[in-house]
Chains A and B, each alone.
Chain A
Amino acid sequence: MLLVGCIALLLGWTGIGLAGLLRPRSVVLAGRFLFPLGALLGFALAGLAAASLLGGGIERLIVPLGLPGLPAHLRLDPLSSVFLVLLGASSGGISLFAGGYFRAGEGAPPGLLCLQYHLFLASMGLVLIADDAYSFLVAWEVMALSSYFLVVTQHRMPEIRSAGFLYLLMAHVGAICLLLSFGVMQGGSWLFTFAAMRAAHLSPGWAAAAFLLALIGFGAKAGLVPLHVWLPEAHPAAPSPVSALMSGVMLKTAVYGMLRVGLDLLGPPVWWWGLAPLILGLLTIFYGVLFAAVQTDMKRLLAYSSVENIGIVFTGIGLTIVFAGSGMKAVAALALLATLYHCLNHAFMKSLLFLGTGSVLHATGERNLGRLGGLIHRMPWVAWLMLIGTLAIAGIPPLNGFVSEWLLLQSFLFADHLPHEFVNLLIPMGMALVALGAALAGYVMVKFYGVIFLGQPREASLAQAHDCGWLERVGLTWLALGCLALGLFPLQVIDALGAVTRQLIGAVVPQASPHWWLLAPVPGRPVSYGPLVFLTATLAVVLLTVFGVRLTYHQRVRRGPAWDCGFGAVTPRMQDTAEGFGQPIRHLFQSFFEIERELPAPADRAPRYRIAIRERIWRLAYEPISGAVERLANTAARLQQGRISIYLLYSFATLLVLLAVALLS
């Protein structure tokens, strides 16, 4: 029984977490022993889930846990399995890294971090196998709380506490919507198992309401614009392995939930439901990447990039629903495939990048891009592994980011002849936005990589930067290899994902080519992509060039000072800062940003240039809402005078009213 194995592994994670409490201050126990052990369990979980995925079967189990009469229903089906593979495989790399990363003297003691971290992992696993609303929501809540404690690890800093509060608040706004959504979906049977929800026949209006509530609930967790505001605050606040886990894995549990509700629990979807995730997803892509381009904090930049990637995923979900609702099963399966593929890709590449920023942070103590630079000389391991992640997330073939983008663009391209005129016009706009987002992501990643790792060190202290330790290297290498494998063997991944498309859509993406290395998802049309051949051809041409030049010409090389047009004194200050590199975007899309500038006057003795960029959404939506809540609370607070006589008066008045009601009726 694979499901039992999965449960045992989740319990194992919990046990590892508790073991951390044995000697909470010991870095050796947590770092060298427990975290690597957790990584092994992660790989085992990925293996079990992969076996279940390839088998394609469904396993159910009822465990008498929780309240009497309310046992926990658990289920392992292809959709859960994919996300369990994602959880296990990427968390394995992250845990290995975390083993080398956490040290004493960083806020919470390592043993406590170990408990929170492994509870976080186990709760994410439980979310994925829960088969009734109770266990789902309990696991969801444990996930939110354990990650909250991880975010506020360094709770002595006020800005980290406020980031944590914002995260907790948004998590609960989302959770309330989910609660309501499940409440609608039980459809009057008052049975909260997922099986009952599948069987319930909702009226179209109620089904749409449940879908919308789920979209808000899961959207808040995933970081869909306009509910993304917690992401750029919480990700930089958390320690890097936690940021990696939140961005790489936790956001995907929300995607899982959305797919579970939208394509499974609510039955066959109605096409126009898909418009909401589609339009919001496209908006999120554009919004996220624009803000990523103007960030100066490396982890905030990555957080906004996660927002962009969640946009891509929700665009895929929207397309899937529009197609599935219009009866175009083959294209729906293609769009779903692109969605799942992008989830897997993002888990690997974003974890890799977040962990790399962790190494940089440890080596230099800096998160601000403006104080970094030239680290490729000091930290070659981190720099070269991060280059893979950077190219992957920028969608450069033959790495993995390109595959999911390719699949998504193909599903857009073959979406012609939809039965709805309006959507037909939306499709080209969507394609344009996806393409623009991909190109802007390239801009963002050149800025990210170039400013951190290339050029001259912007501060003298960077000369002391050191490369990461061996456990961290192993973790980073695992994730980088994942990026390569997902990029080079798409066909094998797609074969495995076929069970999910069959389960949710009732169709698989066909393979129109007889070759195992050639991806050809649209039969009857000459559309194909072969990453292995692509890589071989590129390498062959590049190596031929290298040898050609070597054989034909001498290889004399001399090192000299930089030329720079003969300009002479070149100082590190003359390089672009992060603000400078983002300037064209800031200038072009001014109206999107709320910019606060502090410019020096010509006569300033100590000139200072400062620029702060905020999201307009704070002023337009969040501040009015929080103001209204505060006013309401203040009004209600007038009832509380804090004097016992007033409270006795309330009781007396209530008694009188009740008596009057009793007498009159």
Chain B
Amino acid sequence: MSALDWITQVLEMVVALAAAPALLGWVNQCRAWLQNRRAPSLWLPYRSLHKLFHKEAVIAENASPLFRIAPYVVFGAMVLAAGIIPSMGTRLPLVVSADAIALVGLLAAARMFMTLAAMDVGTAFGTLGARREMMVGFLAEPALLMVIFVASLVSSSTALPAITEHLASGHLGLSPGLAFSAVAFILVLLAENARIPVDNPATHLELTMIHEAMVLEYSARHLALMEWGAQLKLFNYVCIGFALFLPWGVATGHIGPVGLLVAIPALAVKLAAAGAGLALIETVSAKMRVMRIPEFLGTAFLFAVLGLLVHVLLGA
């Protein structure tokens, strides 16, 4: 492990921290353009975060310490996750200690703390959000795991960088198993990041909200951390998608400064394309009823299992 590896490691987290709000801003901008609205500034999420950090925090009278710890845990988990996903380089010292299964566990930890915090104040909306989030999670989490397992079987490792290196070096295009899991992954990404058609990030309407219901009791810096955490989550999921399905441009092997010079613009281009694609999906689809969500995610789970079966059957 050289110093450069550690620099890449820290750089990945810092870039994620810096770029995550911009990614959300970009998605919102694209959505506005597609819907013939005037687009908000790309920097709006940064300004919102800045504003929230400066406000005075109001906490419900009966909130327990868990409520105050949770935003830090959720945010920390997402930052750490950004360090495990090879978005720019594959020589990440932390990955040795945390493979893709641990990554899914880390995301699950964030989910548990978020839902527990949502139940802590004991309001109707909080528990409603927690219940719905767990309903999304119990299907999305195994689906994500199955998607990762297809890639693990292809490259016989559960470490994401090893998977990325194998897939990037391969002559293979998309193997049939991976094609199925790519579909599953997109569905999981939409559900996990509270996007349309599963959740609407732009509404506080009781009938539909999931993520917003959970963070309803938060304000000021706690809310800022939760929101930044959510933006990081979107960034992380998109980067997991790149690592599994679009590994090109990532600096494999011992990257020098040159490798990074290539990796950063490559990541920016991929993020821009993914953000535009996400906006397109959100524009052309309609929000589902809440009880239809399990069907949607069940489809994702089945696609992922199918991908695994296809992989085993074809022996690819």
Contact = CB atoms under 8 A, between A and B. Distances in A.
Do chains A and B stick together as partners? yes
Interface of A: 373-374, 376-377, 387, 391, 394-397, 402, 405-406, 409-410, 413-414, 416, 424-425, 427-429, 431-432, 435-436, 438-440, 442-443, 445-447, 449-451, 454-456, 518, 525-534, 537-538, 541-542, 545-546, 549, 552-554, 556-565, 567, 570, 572, 574-576, 580-581, 583-584, 587-588
B174 interface: no
B58 A560 contact: yes
B130 A439 contact: no
Given A377-B62, A564-B216, A424 B123 contact: no
A446 B294 CA distance: 18
Contacts of B61: 559-562
B127 interface: yes
Contacts of B109: 391, 396-397
Given A409-B101, A438-B142, A425 B294 contact: no
Given A428-B309, A584-B135, A584-B294, A450 B127 contact: yes
B196 interface: no
Given A450-B127, A580-B127, A528 B221 contact: no
> Which 8 pairs from chain A and chain B are nearest by CB?
A455-B122, A530-B97, A435-B142, A456-B122, A542-B76, A533-B97, A450-B119, A576-B127
A372 to B, nearest CB: 12
Interface in B123-155: 123-128, 130-132, 134-135, 137-139, 141-142, 145-146, 149, 152-153
A538 B112 contact: no
Contacts of A416: 153, 312
Given A545-B76, A570-B123, A374 B312 contact: no
B98 A534 contact: yes
B105 interface: yes
A556 B123 contact: no
B198 interface: no
Contacts of A450: 115-116, 119, 127, 130
Interface residues of B, number: 80
Contacts of A528: 96-97, 99, 159
Given A528-B99, A545-B225, A563 B216 contact: yes
A428 B308 contact: yes
A567 B124 contact: yes
B171 interface: no
A545 B73 CA distance: 9
B258 interface: no
Contacts of B116: 446, 449-450, 454
B108 A396 contact: yes
Contact of B124 (A374, A529, A532, A570): A570
14 contacts: A395-B108, A397-B102, A429-B309, A438-B142, A446-B119, A527-B99, A529-B102, A557-B56, A560-B60, A562-B121, A562-B217, A567-B123, A570-B124, A584-B294
Contacts of A435: 141-142, 145-146
Contacts of B56: 554, 556-558
B172 interface: no
A218 to B, nearest CB: 29
A443 B162 contact: no
B207 interface: no
A394 B108 contact: yes
B72 A545 contact: yes
A542 B99 CA distance: 20
Contacts of A409: 101, 145, 149
Given A396-B105, A425-B309, A584 B119 contact: no
B53 to A, nearest CB: 5
B273 to A, nearest CB: 29
A557 B57 contact: yes
